[in-house]
Amino acid sequence: NKNHMGSVEVPLFSLSKISRATSEFSVDNKLGEGGFGPVYKGMLEEGQEIAVKRLSKSSRQGLEEFKNEVICIAKLQHRNLVKLLGYCIQGDEKMLIYEYMPNKSLDGFLFDKSRKLLLDWPQRVHIIHGIARGLLYLHQDSRLKVVHRDLKAGNILLDNQMRPKISDFGLARMFKEDESEENTKRVVGTLGYISPEYAANGHFSIKSDVFSFGVLVLEIMSGKKNRGFVHEDHDDNLLGHAWRLHKEGKTLDLIDECLYTSYSPSEVTRLVHIGLLCVQQRIEDRPNTSNMVAMLSGEGPLPS
C-alpha cells in the first residue's frame, strides 16, 4: 500500500478511510479554503488527527497545483515543514493528508485581534528562527533548491508547541542543480509579500522568498499586515513605515504594543534590521538564505 514518490515513502489512503475520518467531509469538519480546494479536519481510527486537502473537481489550475504539491512535498522532510502523511486518489477524488496543526496559521495569531491569543516575545523570536531554518532547508539543504513562491503568515502553521511549519507547496518550484532563477508569465503569490522584480517582470529566485521572509519578520514584530504594493508609500505599507522609523532611530516604535513589557530592545533592533535587509529593492542587496540564517543566529555584525 505504499508508493515510492521521490525519496520519501508516501502511503496511499483509501477514500472510505478518509471519508470516515472527516465524517463524509461534513461542513462541521471544514477548516477553510486552501489554494486548490477545501481543507477538512479529520481523525483516523488510530486516533491521529489529520488535515485533508481535497482538490475541487472543477479547476484545472487546481489540478496543476495539486500535482505540484505532491511532487515537491513528497521529497521534503524537515521539522519546520508541514508533514505529508499520505495521499488518496480514487475515481475523481484527489486528496492530500497532512498532520493536523492544532494552532492553525500564524495569520490568526498576528492579525485576528478578536482571538485575543497573542504571541509573546520569545514565541515570536522562536517562530522567526523556525521559518528561517525551514527556508534554508528548502533553498539549500534539501539539495532540491525549492523556491516556495507564496511564503506568508497564512501559510505558516503552528503545532501544539507553537513551532512553525511552512505549508502549501502548490506554487513551489524546484530548480535543477545549476539553475536558481526563472521568469514566468503568470505571476502568482500574495500581494504584500511578492518581491518587486517578481511583481513587475515575473522574475523569481531564492531571493524572492527572502523578500517574503523579510515581510513576515516585520509583520511578526509589529503585529501589522503589510498591505498594498511592496514599496508603495502610504500609511498601510508596513515596509515604508518600518524604513522610516528605522532611519529616524525609532525602531522600537514599530513593535506590537502588547510586547511592551517583554521584549529585548537590542534583539528588536537586530531583527527589524534583518527584516529590512531582506526587503531591499535590489535583488543583489538582499542576503542569501544562509547569510540570513547566520545573521539571525548572531554570527558576525550586520551590514549597515
- Contact residues toward ligand ACK (CB under 6 A) are 31-34, 39, 51, 82, 98, 100-101, 104-105, 107-108, 154, 157, 167
Which lies closer to ligand ACK via its Cβ, residue 94 or residue 273?
94
Taking alpha carbons only, the member of 264, 292, 82 closest to residue 170 is: 82
135 or 157: CB nearest ligand ACK:
157
SS3 34: strand
Question: What is the number of alpha carbons within 13 Å of residue 205 lying toward its C-beta?
Answer: 17
Residue 132 to residue 161: CA distance in whole angstroms: 18
Q: Which of 92, 112, 141, 150 is catalytic?
A: 150
Which residue's CB comes closest to ligand ACK?
A: 32
Query: Of 166 and 255, which CB lies nearer to ligand ACK in the complex structure?
Result: 166
Q: What's the distance, CA 282 to chain centroid?
A: 22
Q: State in angstroms the smallest separation of the CB of 11 from ligand ACK.
A: 16
Q: What's the closest the beta carbon of residue 170 comes to ligand ACK, in angstroms?
A: 10
d(CA 162, CA 148) in angstroms, rounded, equals 21
User: From the CB of 46, what's the least distance to ligand ACK, in Å?
Assistant: 17
* Residue 256 annotated as catalytic: no
Residue 38 or 228 having the CB closest to ligand ACK: 38
C-alpha span between 109 and 111 (Å, rounded):
6
| Environment class of 23 (CB within 10 Å of its CB; exposed 0-12, middle 13-18, buried 19+) | middle
Provide, rounded to whole angstroms, the least separation between the CB of residue 203 and ligand ACK.
27
Query: So which residues are the catalytic ones?
Result: 150
